[in-house]
Amino acid sequence: MEFSPDAKRVFHVQTYGAATAIDGVRVVELTRHADDSGAMTELARLTDGRAAGLGDFSVRQVNYSEMAPGAIKAFHLHARQTDVWFVPPSDRMLVVLLDVREGSRTEGARQRVVLGNGGSRLLLIPPGVAHGVRNLAEATGRIVYLTDLHFSPEPATCDEGRLPWDFAGKDVWEITRG
């Protein structure tokens, strides 16, 4: 069967395989224990500041952030700090990751992960991987995140830098349709 010229021009086959994975980024599935009165998720079991399942990551600070519906916070970038993010299952956040580490095996790779959305997962983001988030829900979104460095607002010791929100293109924040 032949397609019309307009259809041929825009036709493509959707990719159903595994998404691009950036070297060092880790998604850790968590167990959510639910009963008729609610649910509980163990975020981390710590031994001397090290969280099980996260390798050498040592917790130094725990933070909580809220985002307005539809808000985009991007892009953050750390030279030394590793982040571990958790979004409650009742929320829905699109996280976009960009490997900007020169010489990395996955340099230039872009990875999209939806956190929350009924699931309980941790997302480990290594230094040199720019990261941003969009609240896809119609309610305030929440992120609990762990870091392996203490935050410092002082320019001489601050490890948080920024890239423009559209560094990977404005379309990166759109919902994949198809």
Residue-level pLDDT at 72: 95
Where along the chain do its domains lie? 25-150
Res 57 pLDDT > 80: yes
pLDDT at residue 6, rounded to an integer = 79
Query: Scanning the structure block, which residue is given the tokens 């021009």?
Result: 9
- Percent of the chain beyond pLDDT 90? 63
Q: Which are the contacts of 158, defined by CB distance < 8 A and separation ≥ 6?
A: 151, 152
In the chain, how many H helices and how many E strands? 1, 14
Give the residue-averaged pLDDT of 27-53: 85
Q: For strand 92-99 and strand 141-147, is the pairing parallel, antiparallel, or unpaired? A: unpaired
pLDDT score of 143: 97
Q: Encoding tokens for residue 60?
A: 């130094």
For 128, residues 6+ apart whose C-beta sits below 8 A from its C-beta are 77, 78, 79, 99, 100, 101, 104
Residue 14, pLDDT > 70, answer no
CATH (residue range 25-150): 2.60.120.10
Task: List pLDDT tens digits, range 87-134.
Answer: 999 999 999 999 999 999 999 999 999 999 999 999 999 999 999 999
Q: How confident is the model at residue 16 (pLDDT cuts 50, 70, 90)?
A: low
Question: How far lies 159's CA from each of 83, 103, 130, 136, 155, in Å?
Answer: 12, 21, 12, 28, 8
The count of other CB atoms within 10 Å of the CB of residue 41 is 16
